[in-house]
Structure 1
Amino acid sequence: MTEKREQFWALYLTRFAEGFGFITLITLLPYYINTLDPSDTTILGLTISAGLIIGLYTTGFTLAQTVAVVPLAWAGDRFDKRTVLLGVLGIGVGVYALFPLVDSSASFIAIRALQGVAVTGAGLMTLSLVGQIADVGTRANYIGKANAASFGASILGSISAGTLYDAFGFGPIFLVIVCIMVIAWAGTFWYLEPDGTRIEGFPFTGLALNRRILTLSSFRFQYAFSVTLVRTWIPIFAGVSAAEGGLAYGGFAVALTVVAEKFTNMCCQPFTGRLSDGYGRALFVFSGGAAYGVIALFVPLSPAIGTTLGLPSELVVSLPALMVGVALPAWLPYESIPGQFVLIGEVSPAFFPLIALSGLLGIADSFREPASMALFADEGTEEGGVASSFGIRELVWRPGSVIAPLLGGWLMVEVSMASVFYVGGAFALTGVLTFLIILVSFHGRRALTEW
C-alpha cells in the first residue's frame, strides 16, 4: 500500500503542473494577440469585432470551465477519482502539445476551451483527493500545501514564460509544459491509490441545501467579486498610463506587484492551514476575508503613502557579479556595469507601498483559502460527495469571476481607478458581515470558533 506522504506528493506535483500550464497561457496571452492579430470577422451575416474575439481568448476558457464543473465533479464522486484525474491530465498533455500548431483565433479559442476542461478537472480532483486522504483534523494543512504548490508554479511559470518566449518562441515553452504534465501523470499513476468511494445518484442535490455550505456560499459569492476586482486591477493600476489613473510602470515592475501576492500566499498557506485546523476554520475565513477587504481599500492610497514616507522613485536591484556574462532576457530593463548587472526601472514613490500591500493581500487570503476549502471538504466527505462539494464551491465563484471584470472596467472608465478597489474592498467586507450574521443566527455564537 502506498504511503499517504507519497500520495500527497503526487497530488502536489499535479497541482504544480496545473498551475504552471494555466499561468503560462495568461503570461503569453498578449503575445498571441500580437501574433494572431485578431480582426473583425463576419459569421452568418453577423460581425464579430476584434475586441470581442480578444475577449473570447479568455471567455472561451472560463465558459468551458463552467460547463465542465458539474459533469467532472459528478464523475469524480460516481467513479474512481484517480481515473478521472489521469484522464484530464492526459487531455492536458494533448492540449498543450496542440498549442504550437495554433494559426488562427478560432483554433486558439478552441484549444483554450479544452485547456479549461483540463485545468478544471485537475483542480477539482486533486483538491477532492487531498481532502479525502487527509484526516479531518489536518485537511486545511494539506490543502494549504497543495495550494502552495500551485502558487509556486504561478511564480515560476510567469517568470519563465516571458524569458523562454523571448529566447525561443512558443514551441519550447509548451514542450516544457508537456514534460511536466507527463511527469505528473506518471507520478499519479504510480503513487496514487485507486479511490474506492462510489456515490450513487446526484450528490449536488443534497449538498446544495447543506446548511454549512449555504452559509459559506453567502460569503464566497460576494468575495469572488472582491478578489477578481483586486487581483485583476492591481497590475492594471501599476501598468496603465497616468491619464487612465494608473502608475505607468514597466513590465518588470508590474510583474513584481503580481508575484508579491502569490509569493506571500504560497509561503503562508501551509502554516495558516495548520493553524485553522487547530483554532477554527470559520474564524480564519472571517478574519482573512475581513483583512483582505480592509487592505484593498488602501491600494489607491499607495502614492500618498509613498510620498509621505519619502520613498525612492527608481527601482534598483543588483544581481550577483557571478551572473556577469549571462545573457539576460531583452524584456528586463537593465544596465551592465563592471562586476554586476543592475536592473533599473522608473517607478514612483507608490511602488514599494503597492508591493507591500500586494504581499499583505496574499497573507490575508492565505488565512481564508485553506480554511474555506477544508470546510467544503469536511461537508463533502461527511455527505458522501467531496468532488461535488468542491464543484459547488467552484460554481459559487463563477458569477463574480465573470461579472467583476465588466464592473471593474466600467468603474475605471466612468468613475475612477480608485473606485475599483473601494468597491472590491466593500464586497469582501459585506461578505464577511453576511457570513457572521448567518453564522451566529443559524449556527450559534460559538460556531465562529467551533467550525
Structure 2
Amino acid sequence: MSVGHDDLQFGSLYLTRFAASFGFMTVMTLLPTYIETLGATGVTIGVFVAILELARTVGIVPLGWAGDRYSKRSVLLVALGVSVAAYLAFARVASIEGFLVARTLQGLGLTGTGLLSLALVGDLAPPGQRGARIGRYNAFRMGAGIAGTIGAGALHAVAGFDVLFGLLTVILIVATIGVWRFVDADKTHVSGFAFADLAMNERIVTFATFRAQYAVAVTLVRRWVPIFVGVSAAQGGLGYGAVIVGAVLAAEKCTNMVCQPMAGRFSDRQGRAVFILVGGGAYGLVAIAFPFVGGFVDGVALVVPGLGPLSTAVIAAIILNGLLGVADAFREPASMAFFADEGSGEGITSSFGIRSLIWKPGSVLAPLAGGWLMGEFGIEWVFVAGGAAAFAATGTFLGLLVWRYGTQAVREW
C-alpha cells in the first residue's frame, strides 16, 4: 500500500507531538533524580516546577503571532531545534543553574512544538475531518505519556542520561526532518494581531466560560489521583507504592489514547458542543465517585504479572481513572477542533494560543486550592471540588449556548 503525501504530512506532525510529549514525561519522571543529584531543596524545587510553566506561558503569544503572521512550518522547525538543544543540555546538567537553563529551553520548545504542530494539523485537515485528525494527534501524545512514564525510568536505570536523551534527540531530529521534507508551507498568512480579533469572537467567549472552569476540574483531579493512591491511609489515601500509582495513571492514558480518534471522528459528524458537554458532565461524575474507592472491601481481587496481587480498591481506582480518560477523550478533540474551526483563515495558531491562555489561571490556582482543601477538610473534598467545577463549567456553557443561540446550537456547534 502506497503512502500518500497527506499521510507523510500528518505522520510527521504526529511524530513531532510524540517526541515533544515523550520529552516532557521523561524529565517529569526523572525530576526526583535531578533534585537529589543537584541537592535542590525547598524553594529551589518549586522553581524547578515553576520555570517550566513560566516559559510555556511566555511563549504562547509571540509564537502564536509569528506562526500566523509568517510561517507555522518555519516556527515549528525553530521550536524543534530549541527542543533538541534543551534535551542535549539535560544530558549534561551539572548545576542548578544549568538545569534551569535546560528547563527554560524545554518550556519554550514545548509551547512551540505543541502550539504549531496542532495548528498545522487543524489547518491541513479538511473541516469535516478536523476532529478525527486531532483525535489521532492526541493519541500519539497519550502514547508518548505511557512510554515516557514506563520507559524513561527503566532506560535511565540501565543506560544513564546520555543514552536516554540521545534517543530522545534522535526522535526529535527525525521529526524535524519529516516536517522540513514533507509538511507543506502555509497557504494563509494573517496580518495584524489575530489574538486581539479572536479574543472578541463571541463563540470563543461563550466557550471560554466552560474552559476556564473546567481547567480547575481537570487540574485538581489529575494532580490528586496519584496523591490519593499513593499517600497513607492516615492522610486519606490508599497507601500504595509507585508501581500501583503508575498502573492507575497509565489506565487514564490508555483509554484516552484509544478513544480520542473515534470521538474526534464522531464530533465531526455530530457537532463539537455535544461531545464537550457529555465529556464534561461525565468527568464530574467520575471525579466525585473517586474518593469512594477507599471504602471498598480490601481483599485480593486479581493477580497481575508484574504488579502482583491487586485489591478491590486498586481495581476500582484503575477502572475509575480509565473512565476519566474516556470522558476526557470525548471532550478534548472536540474542544481543539472547535478552536481550529474558529481560527481557520483568521489565525489558527492564535486561536489555539487563546485556548491555552484560558486554561492557565485555573491550572495555576487549582493546586493551591486543592492543597488547602486537603489540609482543612480531607482529600475527598478535592475530588468533590473537581467534580463541582466540571458540573459548573458544563452547566454554564449549556446555559449560555441555549440562551444566546437557541437549543439547536447544541447540535450545530
Same fold at TM > 0.5? yes
CA contact (8 A) 1:273 1:370 kept: yes
CA contact (8 A) 1:60 1:110 kept: no
What does residue 332 of structure 1 align with? none
Distance 2:77 2:257 in 1: 26
How far has the Cα of 1:37 moved from its partner? 1.6
What does residue 314 of structure 2 align with? 351
Structure 1, unaligned runs of 5 or more: 39-49, 319-341
Please say if 1:316 is aligned against 2:303: yes
Distance 2:403 2:7 in 1: 40
How far has the Cα of 1:62 moved from its partner? 0.3
Distance 2:302 2:217 in 1: 29
How far has the Cα of 1:349 moved from its partner? 2.8
User: Aligned partner of 1:344: which letter?
Assistant: G
What does residue 420 of structure 1 align with? 382
User: Aligned partner of 2:251: which letter?
Assistant: A
How far has the Cα of 1:137 moved from its partner? 1.0
User: Aligned partner of 1:426: which letter?
Assistant: A
- Which of 50, 54, 58 in structure 2 is aligned with 1:63? 54
Percent identical among aligned pairs is 50
CA deviation vs aligned residue, 1:201-241 (integer Å, no higher than 9, x gap): 10011100101111111000000010011011101111112
Please say if 1:22 is aligned against 2:24: yes
Distance 2:184 2:213 in 1: 37
User: Aligned partner of 2:59: which letter?
Assistant: A
What does residue 180 of structure 1 align with? 171
Distance 1:366 1:51 in 2: 36
How far has the Cα of 1:356 moved from its partner? 0.2
CA deviation vs aligned residue, 1:243-286 (integer Å, no higher than 9, x gap): 22111111110001111001100000000000111111111001
Distance 1:415 1:97 in 2: 44
What does residue 84 of structure 1 align with? 75
How far has the Cα of 1:314 moved from its partner? 7.0
| Structure of larger gyration radius | 1
3-state secondary structure, aligned to 1:127: helix
Structure 2, unaligned runs of 5 or more: none
CA contact (8 A) 2:256 2:328 kept: yes
3-state secondary structure, aligned to 1:350: helix
What are the residue-to-residue correspondences of 1:246-395 with 2, within 5 Å?
246-304=237-295, 306-307=296-297, 312-313=299-300, 316-318=303-305, 343-344=307-308, 348-382=311-345, 384-395=346-357
What does residue 333 of structure 1 align with? none
Distance 1:424 1:206 in 2: 32
Greater alpha carbon shift after TM alignment, 76-85 vs 240-249 = 240-249
Distance 1:27 1:201 in 2: 41
CA contact (8 A) 1:80 1:196 kept: no
CA contact (8 A) 2:244 2:307 kept: no
CA contact (8 A) 2:211 2:359 kept: yes
User: Aligned partner of 2:16: which letter?
Assistant: T
CA deviation vs aligned residue, 1:7-34 (integer Å, no higher than 9, x gap): 1111111111111111111111111112
C-alpha RMSD over aligned residues: 1.3
How far has the Cα of 1:312 moved from its partner? 3.4
Distance 2:189 2:268 in 1: 27
What does residue 222 of structure 1 align with? 213
CA contact (8 A) 2:401 2:409 kept: yes
Alignment TM-score, normalising by the size of structure 2: 0.97
Please say if 1:9 is aligned against 2:17: no
CA 1:379–1:343 in structure 2 vs 1: closer, same or farther (change >3 Å)? closer
3-state secondary structure, aligned to 1:169: helix
- Which of 364, 378, 386 in structure 2 is aligned with 1:402? 364
Q: Count matched residues.
A: 410
Distance 1:189 1:202 in 2: 26
Please say if 1:168 is aligned against 2:159: yes
How far has the Cα of 1:315 moved from its partner? 6.0
How far has the Cα of 1:147 moved from its partner? 0.3
3-state secondary structure, aligned to 1:195: coil
CA contact (8 A) 1:303 1:349 kept: no
Alignment TM-score, normalising by the size of structure 1: 0.89
3-state secondary structure, aligned to 2:308: strand
CA deviation vs aligned residue, 1:400-447 (integer Å, no higher than 9, x gap): 111111111111122101011000111010000000111011111110
